[in-house]
Amino acid sequence: MEIKWIPISLLKIADYNPREARSPEVIQSIIETYNSKKLIKPLLVRKTEDGEYEVFDGGTRLEALKILNINEAPCIIYNCNRKEAIEIAAIVHTNREELTPAEKGKFIMRCINEGIWKNVEEAAKALGFSKDTIYDWIREAKIYQVTMNSKLRNLLNRDVKKALGSMPKPVREKIIDELASLPEEIIEKIKKELPKTLNEIVERSYESELDEVLTEFREKISKIIEASPDYSIKFKASSGSIYQIDKVENNIVITIFARNSSTHQLTIPSIDLREFVRKLSRLIE
């Protein structure tokens, strides 16, 4: 295809360009290469009705050229509509290692939602990847936001992500909320058994009501906690009171250090804990 030099002022990064974050290191590398050898890979663009050009591959190069105050950029112009450009962008970007699995998955879901492909099978065929790979990318995309929670980051290994990504969105979001609300001490205790626990409720998450699935999840987590060695948790609540929870033999001991310096203590037999939690959950839902 012919390479045409187009004024930078007429180039804009397409809103469907899948790259969400542009690495400063990569931009600097492009700048250094251009300064030393005057080399720049052509941008892939399409002309829009307003006379400008959408860049659907080469956004990072465009940013580097702007920093260099270069007036024109080498471009390969595709005579295509928006839908066709999105498909080309998907094919080009999913074959690049520097694009994260989450970015690839998010873009593929967008392509399916916009009718570029009808389903994952069509996407896999068009992109030249297996269905399992496409599903893995989509799962990564679905729970990408969760990894921004530092407390959960170490909890979400590949198996946990796969199980969460297999659940309906309402169930997945509620379970993530449940996990995020747990003290870090508890998270450490359930970390090993969590993949198995989630996989056990994946099928049920499609067949049962949301409340039923959450109840089962809470019961399973409680069993894991009860089976763990004695533990102690201490935290400050929104009211200003400090709570300390200790597991002592077959009992759960809750000590409340109130703001007025008074102390209260409640002992609950471990065997009653699941029922106790269920009753409490009804009061706060």
Indicate which CATH number applies to the domain containing 237: 3.10.450
The pLDDT value recorded for residue 284 is 65
How far is the C-alpha of 166 from the C-alpha of 140, rounded, in Å?
11
Predicted confidence (pLDDT) at residue 19 exceeds the cutoff of 90: no
The pLDDT value recorded for residue 20 is 64
- Buried b vs exposed e over 257-266: b needs ≥16 C-beta within 10 Å? beeeeeeeee
Domain boundary among 48, 80, 112: 80
Average pLDDT on 208-234 reads 82
Predicted confidence (pLDDT) at residue 149 exceeds the cutoff of 60: no
The pLDDT value recorded for residue 151 is 62
Is residue 193 packed enough to be buried (19+ CB in 10 Å), middle (13-18) or exposed (0-12)? middle
Q: Who has greater pLDDT, 102 or 7? A: 7
How far is the C-alpha of 194 from the C-alpha of 243, rounded, in Å?
26
**C-beta atoms surrounding 150 within 10 Å:** 7
Inside any domain, residue 31: yes
pTM score, two decimals? 0.53
Inside any domain, residue 199: no
| pLDDT per residue as tens digits for the range 30-67 | 999 999 988 899 999 999 999 999 999 998 899 999 99
Inside any domain, residue 11: yes
Inside any domain, residue 192: no
Inside any domain, residue 26: yes
Tell the residue number behind the tokens 């190069």, with chain if given. 61
Inside any domain, residue 179: no
The pLDDT value recorded for residue 147 is 58
Domain boundary among 38, 55, 80: 80
Determine contact, residues 58/89, Cβ cutoff 8 Å.
no
**C-beta atoms surrounding 3 within 10 Å:** 11
How far is the C-alpha of 280 from the C-alpha of 56, rounded, in Å?
52
Average pLDDT on 5-26 reads 85
Domains in the chain, number: 2
How far is the C-alpha of 7 from the C-alpha of 188, rounded, in Å?
55
**Mean pLDDT across the chain, nearest whole number?**
85
| pLDDT per residue as tens digits for the range 95-122 | 876 788 888 888 899 899 889 999 999 9
| pLDDT per residue as tens digits for the range 237-249 | 878 888 888 877 7
The pLDDT value recorded for residue 150 is 53
The pLDDT value recorded for residue 108 is 92
Half-sphere exposure at residue 124, Cβ-oriented, CA atoms within 13 angstroms: 13
Q: How many helices (H) and strands (E) does the chain have?
A: 14, 9
Domain containing 267 equals: 229-285
Q: Who has greater pLDDT, 38 or 144? A: 38
Indicate which CATH number applies to the domain containing 9: 3.90.1530.10
- What tokens does 188 get? 């450490």
Inside any domain, residue 71: yes
Please provide the DSSP assignment of 120-184 as one string: HHHHHHHHT--HHHHHHHHHHHHTGGGGGSHHHHTT--HHHHHHHHTS-HHHHHHHHHHHHHS-H
The pLDDT value recorded for residue 257 is 86
The pLDDT value recorded for residue 162 is 78
Q: Angle 208-214-215 (CA atoms, 0-180°, nearest 5)?
A: 95
Inside any domain, residue 272: yes
| pLDDT per residue as tens digits for the range 225-275 | 777 666 677 788 878 888 888 877 778 888 888 776 668 888 888 788 778
Determine contact, residues 27/67, Cβ cutoff 8 Å.
yes
Domain boundary among 80, 106, 136: 80
